[in-house]
Amino acid sequence: MSESVKRSNPLMWFLDPLTSTASQSDPEYRYSWSKIAWMLPLAIGILGLVVTAIGWATNSEQFYYSYLIGWAFCLSITIGAYFFVVIQHLTKARWSVVIRRIPEALIWSFPLLAVLSIPILLGMHDLYHWTHHDLFDPASANYDPVIAGKEAYLNTPFFLARFAFYFLSWTWISYKLYTLSVRQDNDPHPEIAPKQRKYAAIGLALGAITTAFAAFDILMSLDPHWFSTIFGIYFFAGSFMIIMAVMALVSMMLQRKGMLTGLIKVDHYQDLGKFLFGFVVFWAYIGFSQYMLIWYGNLPEETVFYRHRLEHGWGTMSAILLIGHFIIPFIVLVGRWAKRNLALFGFMCIYMLVMHWFDFYWIVAPVLHEHVAMSIYDVTGVIGLFGVYSAAFMYRLSRHALVPQRDPRLHKSLSFTNT
């Protein structure tokens, strides 16, 4: 660490591993919004969590599922940010430098998410059917030969070890990428960019494996009979799609408050829009690939996932997901015009956030409910968690320059035009 950038105290470390460098940032890149930017989401978030806590007291099983939906939603945004930062470094991308601080601040959400995962780990017995010991006991009436065959993988100690490994590896790479970038702001050194690339390369390889297995463990194993090897990519596709919407929305908010005026241009938004559109299509492509192979194979342990989601009223939800998460955004975002019209594009970003949450609802909620049901806690859970999550993010963003101000490729990003 250089002189000007210091480690923060251990308690603050969860929010930001470095002391604030906002006073050292260039005036045009300085954060200038009031504290309301993080206090308001924090207040909404705490309110949401308090309401959700009522669910924990009255209907704890529903609470755990609702909480998992909200938590997975926040996790996927963070994973999307992680892959975005990693890919920008590896490709030496120029266009995105001016918006890169946003995902850089987002990736330091991993420690917070690890803390917020405690209720999920406490609720494992309710969430994950495979944690029931009698399933593995041939003498028991509940013996399940299919799940028993997966005992080597689906057991609590191994699950917890994997869970810890995911978060340690994500936090490690995020720490390196985040601190290197902030260090560069205040103490530019030609060695920083190659170092960022090095950790990005490790992070990409590590992230590919951990993201896929995290998706298997956290979401797919809710349905322990079912398996789909493409599920990790499905999770990634949604994550990488939503990070584009989040970056665009945060940029619009900052610009509305008079920050980064003229620096983030409509050309940058158009590129985010292209990515958003591309990964909406990619999500559908992967989702359909999963569905079609299962339809063709017609094996009971695979079709169970879709069969359940097409029966007892869940079919309506599946239709909403297909139309709302693919067809509508496809038609709206396909044109160049929609990506350059910030009012429409901003609306579509918010819309995609809702649909992305709906995607997790569609994966998680049918495991609990035989018949279609949406609990109030599904909604308050995500409001609570996302509120706290975005409060921590906005607070972190306010502590440093809003742009990697000494990045060697920043001037290329500022003069970027889209033809």
Applying the rule CB under 8 A, the residues between 333 and 392 that interact with other proteins are: 335-336
Under the binding rule (CB under 8 A), the answer on residue 327 touching other proteins is: no
Under the binding rule (CB under 8 A), the answer on residue 330 touching other proteins is: no
Taking CB under 8 A as the binding criterion, the range among 116-124, 175-183, 285-293, 354-362 that sits at the site for other proteins is 285-293
Tokens 């290329």 belong to 412
Q: Cβ of 319: how many Cβ atoms within 10 Å?
A: 11
Q: Is the CB of 292 or the CB of 354 nearer to other proteins?
A: 292
Under the binding rule (CB under 8 A), the answer on residue 165 touching other proteins is: no
Under the binding rule (CB under 8 A), the answer on residue 292 touching other proteins is: yes
Tokens 């945004």 belong to 77
Under the binding rule (CB under 8 A), the answer on residue 300 touching other proteins is: no
Q: How far is 402 from 410, CA to CA, in rounded Å?
A: 12
What one-letter code names the amino acid at 45? G
Q: How far is 280 from 329, CA to CA, in rounded Å?
A: 7
Q: Please state the closest distance from residue 374 (CB atom) to other proteins, in A.
A: 27
Among residues 288, 301, 307, 347, the one that binds other proteins under rule CB under 8 A: 288
Q: Please state the closest distance from residue 139 (CB atom) to other proteins, in A.
A: 38
Strand partners, 18: 7
Question: How many residues sit in the footprint of other proteins (CB under 8 A)?
Answer: 10
Q: Please state the closest distance from residue 367 (CB atom) to other proteins, in A.
A: 24
Under the binding rule (CB under 8 A), the answer on residue 9 touching other proteins is: no
Applying the rule CB under 8 A, the residues between 225 and 284 that interact with other proteins are: none
Q: Please state the closest distance from residue 71 (CB atom) to other proteins, in A.
A: 33
Taking CB under 8 A as the binding criterion, the range among 3-11, 109-117, 175-183, 291-299 that sits at the site for other proteins is 291-299
Q: Please state the closest distance from residue 295 (CB atom) to other proteins, in A.
A: 5
Under the binding rule (CB under 8 A), the answer on residue 307 touching other proteins is: no
Taking CB under 8 A as the binding criterion, the range among 99-107, 289-297, 358-366, 371-379 that sits at the site for other proteins is 289-297
Applying the rule CB under 8 A, the residues between 52 and 91 that interact with other proteins are: none
Q: Please state the closest distance from residue 273 (CB atom) to other proteins, in A.
A: 15
Q: How far is 148 from 1, CA to CA, in rounded Å?
A: 50
Q: Is the CB of 143 or the CB of 295 nearer to other proteins?
A: 295
Q: Is the CB of 32 or the CB of 417 nearer to other proteins?
A: 417
Taking CB under 8 A as the binding criterion, the range among 71-79, 111-119, 184-192, 288-296 that sits at the site for other proteins is 288-296
Q: How far is 60 from 52, CA to CA, in rounded Å?
A: 10
Total residue length of the chain? 419
Q: Is the CB of 158 or the CB of 288 nearer to other proteins?
A: 288
Interface positions with other proteins (CB under 8 A) = 288, 291-292, 295-296, 298, 335-336, 417, 419
